[in-house]
A and B are shown apart, each in its own frame.
Chain A
Amino acid sequence: MERLGNYESDLNLKATELRLGLPGRDEPEKQTTTTGVIIRSNKRASPEISQEYSRCNSNNSSVSDAANDDQDSAPPSKVQVVGWPPIRSYRKNTLQQKKNESDSAGMYVKVSMDGAPYLRKIDLKVYKCYPELLEALENMFKLTIGEYSEREGYNGSDYAPTYEDKDGDWMLVGDVPFDMFITSCKRLRIMKGSEARGLGSCV
């Protein structure tokens, strides 16, 4: 494995090195390029070069002022550059979709109550547990919902809170853990009367 030292000594043999240039061409290091950029050693980008570079590309809207900003390891926030980082938009899209889905599901849902003339909307994210949610529903519709039991549904009232989940099925509120309920609930419906009582009796 060659070490860096070998490379340094190789530079001294450049006179005998086989190259593809014409014989008698200058050593590359002695030339300045046509763009007039100063060839420098391995230090970080100097301001003049960055500015010249960005000036040359000022017509190109896809390159931002990033070159100017970039001096050290912690540049200020940059304008997003087209196609950078090089990740296919299809991949970016799926990640973004995931975020959007998780953000928008389970937030504001419609609440209907049997017999009520219009619907309400509540933000599910506000509630941390079922009792909080049920209390809010009770306050909103001025009713009592009753006690939840796994076997019999809601006892003690004419009302039963139900919800429509992601698959389109109507479920009884309270059967699943609250976190899961939040993500799968699409809308709420407070059932009343015989339909509500029927849930308990058919078990």
Chain B
Amino acid sequence: MRQDLVLEQMSEDDDRSQPSDLRSSSSSINKTRNCSGSISASGSSTSASSSSSASSIPLSIPVTEYQSPYPDQVLENVLENVLCFLTSRHDRNAASLVCKSWWRAEALTRSELFIGNCYAVSPVRAMGRFSRVRAVVLKGKPRFADFNLMPPDWGAHFTPWVSSMTRAYPWLEKVCLKRMSVSDNDLALLAKSFLGFKELMLVCCDGFGTSGLSFIASKCRQLRVLDLIESEVSDDEVDWISSFPEGESCLESLIFDCVECAINFEALEKLVARSPSLKKLRLNRYVSIVQLYRLMIRAPQLTHLGTGSFSPSEVMAQGDSEPDYVFAFATCKSLVCLSGFREITPDYLPAIYPVCANLTSLNFSYANITAEQLKPCHKKLPQTSNLLGLQAVAATCKELRELRVFPVEAQEDIEGPVSEVGLQAISEGCRKLQSILYFCQRMTNAAVIAMSENCPDLEVFRLCIMGRHRPDHVTGEPMDEGFGAIVRNCKKLTRLAVSGLLTDRAFSYIGKYGKLVRTLSVAFAGDSDMGLKYVLQGCPRLQKLEIRDSPFGDAALHSGLHHYYNMRFLWMSSCRLTPQGCQQIARAMPNLVVELIRYGSLENQEKLDDVETLYMYRSLEGPRDDVPEFVTILRADG
């Protein structure tokens, strides 16, 4: 049977020309070789990969006679068995370019399909190539869509993908979507089509509600993971928690901190009690601290916890005995990741100290506490009692790998406690930091340089100085040197977001030192086209570039022609581009989809000389067919 399958594939493929696959990372091998002649042991004169000989092979081998399998088939069998062990998609992309044989074998053994841009390839094409996929990861809108820079209904619909998957992948187990539009119908179809479905992750998605969740909970009997992360979930007033079937559940991860409606706590408590494998639990803000206690007691094996509101839901009358929260945290000995604190009552903060020493990730981003409120807690710390909030973190969380600090008031011009002092303290206390997202009103180069020197393992450095064009508030200098030190000293840096007053010099540093940077985020920065040119010409690994409100024009755009096919996308909004400049790009690069997105009315389109938003990405499919009216796709022949 197996032999037949392999032969069938070969005879179908032989008429196909070399697949025009997209090049992946620069490490992939770019030449194809006819390998069967050199590998086949018996030295047969005809090579199996050329069409003339292959067409003479019958579709099926008669079973009555034993025929020794011809060399290429053995090779394929061996390859398939070996390729199973290749998990990295970059390695697989490289392997698939060796020759047709390898291409085929790799396609048959790839079990996780990662599509970084849902418009880069069609469902039919992707599923036609990879027929045995168990897990699909799909990403849709660009990140700036999160900040209202893109009109709603731009696209990235899950529907065409899920419909194709029901036909192509009956054994599908895992779906992970990011920034896609998902409907309740999509979720219903998913739930009913895949009997072995195990994992659903929806990150920054929208378009569905609690009724969609209910389908998933009730129909996916093998469900291990249901993660809703920063998604918008509409309240259809459906009790989805109660939809989970009775009996022991194999749930390992239940994340719903973004769901903005109340849940049935009794049902949740029972669910947690019957989920012995549950490791990750992130509650929404409708769960009080008393309820949290009850859940923690039932699930001491948790490794990831989102605490919910972390305050009592109702007033405690005098004399009511409060649960021992310290005890609850102390029993969860495996906790490494803590978040939540949505409506924190600071009195309860000391409860988390038993686990602080083991934390690798701590997310206080919703905690509306001031340094003053944290002070009573500091007396319990072995350090001096004059520590401010971030300094307390720095002192206790030595193993911290990831930190995110958000502003309470998300506006400019507001004085806040978070500043360069906090960043300096973090850099000195958390030497193992790998990823930081830090919002502040103002910053100094010295603090950023200190971080670059103290935290050499940084891979993600995202600093948002909320005051636009803000220089170093001590020296008055631009923030060039700070970010320059980051790209120079943090040799593993792959993701960078810059802010504050920045000249072209900052970009020259990035181009010169940021050789591993894959994602770069720029806002209100730079002086001239040179800034963008430095980056496009200097950063060979650049894949995602998002720029807003910076003075980069057509010439700068043109300087990246050599690189755009290596990138996933380029976003430029409120820059200095013209439709003509963008048209030139579209003409020069037919496999790029060049979208001009406009907020205003369509009649003025010709009159305006500038481009509001350019969003361009490589694609095998050409212009998509679900274009809304506010998007114009520039044609190569336009």
Contacts and interface: CB of A to CB of B under 8 A. Distances in A.
A87 B471 contact: no
A58 B527 CA distance: 18
Contacts of B237: none
Contact of A86 (B147, B343, B505, B600): B147
A202 interface: no
A45 B412 contact: no
Contacts of A39: 504, 527-528, 530
Contacts of B442: 73
B314 A90 contact: no
Given A63-B549, A95-B410, A42 B480 contact: yes
Interface in B553-590: 553-556, 562, 574, 576
A42 B501 CA distance: 10
Given A34-B555, A94-B366, A21 B576 contact: no
A37 B315 contact: no
A2 B439 contact: no
A56 interface: yes
B523 interface: yes
A35 B528 CA distance: 8
A176 B509 CA distance: 62
Contacts of B562: 20
Given A67-B469, A94-B366, A175-B317, A85 B407 contact: yes
Interface in B391-421: 406-408, 410-413
A126 interface: no
A95 B621 CA distance: 42
B608 interface: yes
B477 A42 contact: yes
Contact of A90 (B230, B315, B469, B473): B230
Interface in B448-477: 453, 464, 466-471, 473, 476-477
Contacts of A166: 314
B201 interface: no
B551 interface: yes
A13 to B, nearest CB: 12
Contacts of B537: 19-21
A115 interface: no
B599 interface: yes
B224 interface: no
Interface residues of A, number: 62
Interface string B470-513: 11010011101100100011000000000001011100010010
Contacts of B266: none
A6 B505 CA distance: 15
A21 B600 CA distance: 38
B260 interface: yes
A61 B149 CA distance: 12
Interface string A176-187: 110011011000
Interface residues of B, number: 75
A96 B408 CA distance: 10
B37 to A, nearest CB: 38
Given A40-B527, A42-B505, A49 B551 contact: yes
B528 A37 contact: yes
A82 interface: yes
What does DSSP make chain B's interface, helix, strand, loop or mixed?
A: loop
Contacts of B548: 83
A91 B406 contact: yes
A33 interface: yes
A147 B335 CA distance: 51
Contact of A33 (B368, B411, B471, B553): B553
A180 B149 CA distance: 42
Interface string A80-104: 1111111111111011001000000
A57 B574 contact: yes
A35 B551 contact: yes
B232 interface: yes
Contacts of B411: 80, 85
B94 to A, nearest CB: 24
B68 interface: no
A84 B467 contact: no
A148 interface: no
B8 to A, nearest CB: 46
Nearest to B412: A78
Contact of B413 (A2, A78, A82): A78
Contact of B471 (A44, A66, A165): A44
Contacts of B470: 73
A70 interface: yes
A80 B315 CA distance: 38
A66 B468 contact: yes
Contact of A87 (B439, B469, B501, B555): B439
Contact of B230 (A35, A81, A88): A88
A9 interface: no
Given A34-B529, A60-B574, A98 B147 contact: no
Interface string B336-364: 00000011000000000000000000000
Contacts of A70: 468-469
Contacts of B368: 95, 98
Nearest to A91: B406
Contact of A94 (B342, B527, B612): B342
A64 to B, nearest CB: 9
B285 interface: yes
Contacts of B488: 1-2
6 contacts: A4-B484, A28-B530, A35-B553, A66-B524, A82-B148, A85-B466
Interface of A: 1-2, 4, 7, 10, 19-21, 28, 33-35, 37, 39-45, 49, 53, 56-57, 59-63, 66-67, 70, 73, 75, 77-78, 80-92, 94-95, 98, 165-167, 175-177, 180-181, 183-184
Interface of B: 144, 146-149, 204, 230, 232, 258, 260, 285, 314-315, 317-318, 342-343, 365-366, 368, 406-408, 410-413, 439, 442, 453, 464, 466-471, 473, 476-478, 480-481, 484, 488-489, 501, 503-505, 509, 512, 523-524, 527-530, 533, 537, 548-549, 551, 553-556, 562, 574, 576, 599-600, 608, 610, 612
User: Which 6 A-B residue pairs are closest in the complex by CB-CB distance?
Assistant: A83-B147, A180-B315, A70-B469, A33-B529, A85-B466, A37-B528
